């Protein structure tokens, strides 16, 4: 966060700070630290990055954060019922996508929005990740997973604001989840956590001998 505080970045707003915290959480995960899989280890930075940012910058009390977690969990339950969290089955969109949808609902809860607004924010957050492949370099949740967590955390705030500003979402969350799942299943196996496609097989990725 030093670069943000010292104004070395272009925006430096809550989106940027939540992204930084999400990436930091992934560093902990990849260092064999303890994280909350929300919903998976590979997407663990999203919800934590958003909630820590809300806690520290909006001074949310414990009860508010608990309610935000309940809102996020509700989205997660719906996602698990209609789809999967396994990138091996449906690509990164069901990990990062689910995480950003859960986080968007949490933001709406903190903003004292309605249940419909939470569902709509989750829906458009997920829609923004449709088709996202799982292509981790060397099979670890580092490249590009860390930055995807950061972008997904920021996405949660943006989508929440879009809904709170009055955007009318035409595709409900349940249909979006099912569509995301079907889209993911149709991806070739090379793009579903096999390290055989995407950026995982770029020359620069193959040249990396060891990730720490």
- What does the pLDDT read at residue 95? 98
Count of domains for the chain: 1
In-domain check, residue 171 = yes
Question: What are 35's two structure tokens?
Answer: 């994280």
- What does the pLDDT read at residue 209? 67
- Look up the pTM and report it: 0.94
In-domain check, residue 65 = yes
Q: Write the pLDDT tens digit of every residue in 95-142.
A: 999 999 999 999 999 999 999 999 999 999 999 999 999 999 999 999
- What does the pLDDT read at residue 212? 47
In-domain check, residue 15 = yes
In-domain check, residue 210 = no
In-domain check, residue 12 = yes
- What does the pLDDT read at residue 138? 93
Those residues with Cβ within 8 angstroms of residue 141's Cβ, 6 or more apart along the chain or in another chain: 26, 29, 30, 41, 42
In-domain check, residue 207 = no
Provide the residue range defining the domain that includes 74.
2-132+147-190
Rounded mean pLDDT of the chain?
Answer: 95
Backbone angles phi, psi at 141, to 5 degrees: -85, 55
Mean pLDDT of 67-83: 98
- What does the pLDDT read at residue 2? 74
Question: What are 161's two structure tokens?
Answer: 């604001």
In-domain check, residue 142 = no
Could you tell me what percent of the chain has a pLDDT over 70? 97
In-domain check, residue 200 = no
Contact 27, 58 (CB under 8 A): no
């Amino acid at each position: 966060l030093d670069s943000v505080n010292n104004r070395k970045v272009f925006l430096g707003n809550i989106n940027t700070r939540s992204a930084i915290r999400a990436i930091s959480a992934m560093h902990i995960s990849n260092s064999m630290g303890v994280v909350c899989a929300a919903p998976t280890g590979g997407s663990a930075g999203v919800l934590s990055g958003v909630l820590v940012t809300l806690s520290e910058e909006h001074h949310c009390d414990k009860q508010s954060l608990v309610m935000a977690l309940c809102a996020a969990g509700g989205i997660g339950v719906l996602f698990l019922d209609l789809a999967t969290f396994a990138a091996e089955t449906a690509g990164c969109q069901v990990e990062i996508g689910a995480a950003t949808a859960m986080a968007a609902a949490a933001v709406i809860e903190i903003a004292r929005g309605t249940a419909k607004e939470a569902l709509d924010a989750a829906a458009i957050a997920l829609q923004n990740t449709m088709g996202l492949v799982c292509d981790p370099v060397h099979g670890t949740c580092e490249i590009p997973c860390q930055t995807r967590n950061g972008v997904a955390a920021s996405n949660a705030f943006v989508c929440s604001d879009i809904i709170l500003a009055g955007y009318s979402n035409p595709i409900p969350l349940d249909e979006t989840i099912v569509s995301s799942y079907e889209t993911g299943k149709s991806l070739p196996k090379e793009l579903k956590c096999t390290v055989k496609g995407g950026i995982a097989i770029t020359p620069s990725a193959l040249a990396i001998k060891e990730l720490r």
